[in-house]
Amino acid sequence: MKRVRGSTVLLWSLLAAAALFLFRLDYARRITTDVLDLIPVAERSPELALVRALANEQQARVALFALQEPDAARREAAAQAFTAALRASPAFAEVVRMGEAGGNDALSRQIFQQRLDLLLPGWLAARQTEYAAAARPEPWPAWLAETTAARLETFLARPEALAFQDLLPSDPLLLLPDLLVQAQGFLAARPAAGDQALVWARTTAAPLREEGQAPVFAAVGQALAAARGAAPGATLRWSAISRFAVESRRRITQEMSWLNLVSLGAVLGVAAVCLRRAHKALHLAAVVACAMLGAWTFTTLAFERVHVLVFVVGALLGGVAIDYGFYLYLQPPQPPDEPYRAKVRRLAKPLLASALTTVIGFSLLLLSELPLLRQLGVFVSAGLLCALAGAVLWFDQLKVTFIETRPFARARWTGGGPAARSVARGLLVAGGLVALLGPWRLHWRDDIRELEISAPELRAEAVELRALFGETGSRTVYLTRGTTSAGARTALGHFLAWHATAFPGRGAASLGLVVPTPADWAALPERQQALAGFETEFRAALERHGFEAAGFEPFFAAWRTWRQTPSPAYDEAVRALTGALRGPAALLLATTPGACWFATIADHPPGAEPPAATATVSSSQLEHLNGLFSRYRASALQLSALGLGLVGASVFALYGWRRGPRIFALPCGSCLFAFGLLGLAGQTLNLFHLLGAFLGVCLSHNYAIFSAENAARGDEPPPSIRLSALTTAASFGVLAASRIPVVAALGTTVTLIVCAALVAVELEPLARSGRRPT
């Protein structure tokens, strides 16, 4: 009976365990497509906390619908049927037909009811400032009464007075007219929708979760069918984050499949073309399979939720992992009867040096704040270690552990005359110039939206719909945050002061203005005390200014009640306001303890960002999070520099001060050349270019090590370097064609570095051909 070898048992046991683990994995729960999962849960950045809150709260659940039907009567019937069907669906928590009494009417009603609690503190503070500035001799209540009556008289001549005439008996202080003029931003007129009925809705579940997607789509389908029952020709356009999420997941999944398949195909194709017996390239596929199995297994073991982008970028692993197959399989036995294990021992130093330097480098990514980088660090490190172990074990199962490359794959330029030497040197000098000068022209910018594949049709439809609902590019939305309502309101005051300076003459409206500042609120009891006698004075002043004081009885009744009733707590008053908000108005502020914010709509296109002290960010900053990613990029740069230092130190430790610098110069030079080329091309770089550079440096490092090993023996660079570089370039070249911008960035950078390193390795012997070999 044939004895089963330990390496065979070990190899197949590990493969079976990994396959079983991955087979039983709950992919729907463990693999995420939510871009916010790429960013730490405990992220310190307040703008990201805001984005997280917006993504998970009501704001992200909004769906906008435009139902088109030219005939007005049929349109009305269709809109009613559509709205009724959506309201009947449990997938929707709230449905508002735009133009119906609702939204703004409810907001105005609520503010009216709370006008004395919410608006009077600020109004009194403003009047008291005027009183102090005027330095009038009359007592405060008398002055206030006279001034208020005079303001009211003037107001009656204003065009807007006619719209408020029913309100005046209840609001002679003009609290609401003043507010509504200030608030024209968030209550702004909407363009007429023409032959379209507009419906605003909020889904019950968050849009990035399954229950916020399929049931919503089904309900919309049923509602459209109901609308078409009334108007067969009605068409629907709608926009919701869930649509983007589903489309993004579909595109990323599709991208992952084709990138992995094409990348693997390209790698094996290059190997098959270069090997003397093409079918033997399948042994290299086994190494790649070991790497992939190991990478998937360890990454999903290490992280509860893994972003799908890790697996998309993971397509690169094929091109890297196959290197160990090349280094083992393409190295001839020396002497010819050298046993496989002796060959492994002989190659252990360069193999371990190249693997461990890369692993050390990528392991440093585990220190990154970004979950994506940590997951990539585990994926690549585990994948490479598994590739090395898999290669060692796999080839141990073969009888013939060496395969020759085809002649062209190991062909060398032999006409090394002075001309060839000059050309080689010229090319190296040109490359050096690019590496020295180009990087100075680099620009960096990150955009979280580049982590996804854009869906231009959906985006265009969303822009059109938002315009119908009143959102235009000529406005900027700011969000001012605080841990409490009072904190957010104080910050809003600072922001509005900054805005008035930064954008003079430009309006900024916020529902937060309805909420009194904590300072005015705190001063209210004292100011209330000082108003004794105001009612009498005010009645007299009204009569003097031609009014019927008795006509203001609704106001005086409310005034007396307000003076006799203890004021509510600040938070209670704010909660009463927010609790009554419905529809779009409910999205203009949030008073959840720990995450309060107010939206401000400013009448100008996006411009300067507010300073950090205002605790305010613009929605455009929230869309791309460039500021936040800049910090991550700086952090990743520090880690990369540290990793590079460690890689360099390990090379210096292994190869000494004479060969170490030469080995280390190749990856560093190639990296600078790639950045130089990108800089000269005017390319804007992001975090993933940096990540790609780090990976490229680690890979080209391997070429330097194996090239140096051969140079030490007086040999030319081994063909495995050429094959390794070509397969890596093939797999990363595939990534460079990805529709996900960051994946393309990573692929382009690595391809450039690897190709530059290969060219340098090929040119170096030519350039040195006139010299005495060292």
Partner 1 sequence: MTLRPRLLLALLLAPLAGRAGLFDPENRIELPALRAQWDGLLGRMAATDWVRTPFTEKRYFSVRRMPVVLKGDLIVSRQHGLSLHYDSAAITGWSYVIVDSAGLLLRDDQGRELTPPGDPRAAGPQRLLLNVLQLDLPQLAEAFEFRATGTADAWQLGLLPRTADARRAATSVTLAGAGVNLQRIVLERTAAQRVEIEIGTAALGRAADPAELQARFRRPGGEARP
In the complex, the smallest distance separating the C-beta of residue 444 from partner 1, rounded to whole angstroms, is: 35
| Binding status of residue 133 toward partner 1 by CB under 8 A | no
407 binds partner 1 (CB under 8 A): no
CA-to-CA distance for 354 and 670, rounded, in angstroms? Answer: 17
We find the least distance from the C-beta atom of residue 154 to partner 1, in angstroms, to be 6
Asked if 187 touches partner 1 (CB under 8 A), the answer is yes
Window contacting partner 1 (CB under 8 A); options: 25-33, 154-162, 224-232, 640-648: 154-162
Residue type, 619: S
Task: Give the integer Cα–Cα distance in Å for 379 and 129.
Answer: 64
Query: Is residue 605 at the binding interface for partner 1, with CB under 8 A as the rule?
Result: no
Give me the least distance between CB of 505 and partner 1, in Å please: 6
Task: Enter the tokens of residue 381.
Answer: 């490190």
User: Which range in 125-133, 139-147, 185-193, 372-380 contacts partner 1 by CB under 8 A?
Assistant: 185-193
Sole binder of partner 1 in the list 447, 461, 603, 764 (CB under 8 A): 603
Q: Which is nearer to partner 1, 548 or 572 (CB)?
A: 548
| Beta-bridge mates of residue 599 | 479
Residue from 233, 506, 533, 638 touching partner 1 (CB under 8 A): that is 506
497 in contact with partner 1 (CB under 8 A): no
**Binding pattern to partner 1, positions 529-548, x when CB under 8 A?**
-----------------xxx
DSSP E strands in 572-712: the ranges are: 589-592, 595-602, 616-618, 684-685
* C-alpha pair distances (Å), 27 with each of 19, 40, 704: 14, 21, 40
Half-sphere exposure of 191 (CA within 13 A, CB side): 13
Q: Among 175-183, 345-353, 461-469, 739-747, which window interacts with partner 1 (CB under 8 A)?
A: 175-183
d(CA 434, CA 756): 11
Helix 241-274 with 281-302: angle, nearest 10 deg: 150
Sole window of 151-159, 517-525, 634-642, 706-714 interacting with partner 1 (rule: CB under 8 A): 151-159
Among 119, 180, 308, 671, binds partner 1 (CB under 8 A): 180
CB of 379 to partner 1, least distance (A): 50
Q: What is the DSSP letter of 618?
A: E
**Separation between Cα atoms, residue 391 and residue 330, nearest integer Å:** 12
Among residues 98 and 746, whose Cβ is nearest to partner 1?
98
User: Which region among 14-22, 182-190, 217-225, 560-568 touches partner 1 (by CB under 8 A)?
Assistant: 182-190
Among 106, 161, 205, 558, binds partner 1 (CB under 8 A): 161
CB of 165 to partner 1, least distance (A): 6
Contact between 168 and partner 1 by CB under 8 A: the answer reads yes
Mapped onto helix, strand or coil, the DSSP state of residue 239 is: strand
Please answer whether residues 294 and 317 qualify as being in contact, where contact means their C-beta atoms are separated by less than 8 angstroms: no
Residues in the chain: 774
Neighbours of 33 (CB within 10 A): 18
Q: Which of 40, 102, 169, 487 binds partner 1 (CB under 8 A)?
A: 169
Binding mask 610-649 for partner 1 (x = CB under 8 A): ----------------------------------------
Strand positions, DSSP E, 367-434: none
200 lies in the site for partner 1, by CB under 8 A:
no
**493 lies in the binding site for partner 1 (CB under 8 A):** no
Please report, as a single letter, which amino acid is at residue 295.
Answer: A
Between 581 and 695, CB nearer to partner 1? 581
Beta carbon nearer to partner 1, 102 or 416: 102
Considering the rule CB under 8 A, would residue 194 count as an interface residue with partner 1?
Answer: no
Q: Least distance in Å: CB of 732 to partner 1?
A: 48
Question: Cβ–Cβ contacts within 10 Å for residue 208, how many?
Answer: 23
Least distance CB 128 / partner 1 (angstroms): 24
129 binds partner 1 (CB under 8 A): no
Question: Based on CB atoms, which residue is closest to partner 1, 191 or 579?
Answer: 191
Q: Does 145 bind partner 1 (CB under 8 A)?
A: no
Note the helical H segments in 24-158.
27-30, 46-56, 72-88, 103-113, 115-118, 120-134, 140-155
Q: How far apart are CA 22 and CA 19, in angstroms?
A: 5
H/E element holding 237? Answer: strand 235-240
Q: Indicate the residue type of 362.
A: F
Round to the nearest angstrom and report the end-to-end CA distance of the chain. Answer: 54
Quick one: which of 402, 386, 330 has its CA closest to 10?
386
From 80-88, 183-191, 459-467, 755-763, span contacting partner 1 (CB under 8 A): 183-191
In this chain, which of 183, 241, 424, 761 binds partner 1, going by CB under 8 A?
183
> Which range, of 165-173, 322-330, 370-378, 764-772, touches partner 1 by CB under 8 A?
165-173
Output 158 or 560, the one with its CB closest to partner 1. Answer: 158
> Is residue 163 a contact point for partner 1 (CB under 8 A)?
yes
Q: Which is nearer to partner 1, 57 or 471 (CB)?
A: 471
Three-state SS letters, 152-175: HHHHCCCHHHHHHCCCCCCCCCCH
Our finding on whether 160 is near partner 1 (CB under 8 A) is: yes
Given the complex with partner 1, which of 169 and 333 has the nearer CB atom? 169
Q: How far is it, in rounded angstroms, from Cα 227 to Cα 91?
A: 18
Q: Quote the longest CA-to-CA distance of the chain.
A: 120
The number of residues that bind partner 1 (CB under 8 A) is 37
At residue 245, what are phi and psi to the nearest 5 degrees?
A: -65, -45
Q: How many alpha carbons fall within 13 Å on the CB side of residue 474? A: 6
Q: Establish if 551 lies at the interface with partner 1 (CB under 8 A).
A: yes
**H or E segment to which residue 201 belongs:** strand 196-203
Can residue 181 be called a binding residue for partner 1 (CB under 8 A)? yes
Residue 335 preceded by cis peptide, ω within 30: yes
Label the pairing between strands 443-444 and 684-685.
parallel
Residue whose CB is less far from partner 1, 105 or 138: 105
Binding mask 92-121 for partner 1 (x = CB under 8 A): -------x----x-----------------
Contact 629, 448 (CB under 8 A): yes
Q: Is 233 helix (H, G, I), strand (E, B) or coil?
A: coil
- Looking at 156, 540, 654, 744, which residue binds partner 1 (CB under 8 A)? 156
- Residues within the interface to partner 1 (CB under 8 A): 99, 104, 154, 156-163, 165-166, 168-169, 172, 180-181, 183-184, 187-192, 472, 474, 505-507, 546-548, 551-552, 603
